[in-house]
Chains A and B, each alone.
Chain A
Amino acid sequence: DSGVTQTPKHLITATGQRVTLRCSPRSGDLSVYWYQQSLDQGLQFLIQYYNGEERAKGNILERFSAQQFPDLHSELNLSSLELGDSALYFCASSVGVDGAYEQYFGPGTRLTVT
């Protein structure tokens, strides 16, 4: 158990809908990262927050947004969902801001868009 929690574990929804994925980092970790893992794209970095502020942006679509709250939990919002958004979404946390420390991954949320 990495200490990172993600909810829900599975999510099935229809095209055009909006969903919110939630992540609680390990105690003491200030950085939260979001990743998308799919068969065709592999593991793609989406976005990083550090202590409530957006820190780094990767291949995140404009339909996707995230935030980190004062209690350090984070939410990833996916809107206008398309079939291609079906993937495993991971949240990870780390102590530092600069990625020099290992990241601890949550169990992931499997999103299926039908």
Chain B
Amino acid sequence: AQKITQTQPGMFVQEKEAVTLDCTYDTSDQSYGLFWYKQPSSGEMIFLIYQGSYDEQNATEGRYSLNFQKARKSANLVISASQLGDSAMYFCAMRETSSGGSYIPTFGRGTSLIVHP
């Protein structure tokens, strides 16, 4: 079973509108972390935002916010006031503990976001 599921292979949004990118996760750990990364067409991976499983407040970083619903095991990324430069692939990732006690990162398959002018 996939540990990180991103059900939207592609999303379109009008410039200046808000958009939500979905992410659900599967873990039995009590302590875990959730991340979002952006990969523009140039290929580099850019860290956007982090949410710890024990953080009670939703994480925010500028125009990015993470809608964390622990009971539903979802960690959706909300981008407010979309810009043309937001067009990219977006990856949701989770850090959880392996059976050996180390921390293993797992990435979803990504969502392609296109921002229209």
- Inter-subunit contact A100/B33 (CB<8 Å): yes
Chain B binding site: helix, strand, loop or mixed by DSSP? strand
- Inter-subunit contact B106/A45 (CB<8 Å): yes
Distance of A62 Cα from B75 Cα, bound (Å) = 34
Q: Is A58 an interface residue (CB 8 A)?
A: yes
**How many residues from B make CB contacts under 8 Å with A?**
23
Contact partners of B33 in chain A: CB under 8 A: 99-100
- Inter-subunit contact A2/B44 (CB<8 Å): yes
- Inter-subunit contact B95/A56 (CB<8 Å): no
Distance of A103 Cα from B108 Cα, bound (Å) = 16
Most chain A CB within a 10 A radius of its CB, from B50, B91, B103 = B103
A96 to chain B, nearest CB (A): 9
B39-64, CB under 8 A of A: which get 1 and which 0?
A: 00001111100101000000000000
- Inter-subunit contact A105/B106 (CB<8 Å): no
A14 to chain B, nearest CB (A): 24
Q: A42-B110, A103-B47, A105-B44 are in contact. List 6 more A-B contacts (CB 8 A).
A: A48-B102, A57-B102, A58-B105, A98-B95, A102-B47, A107-B44
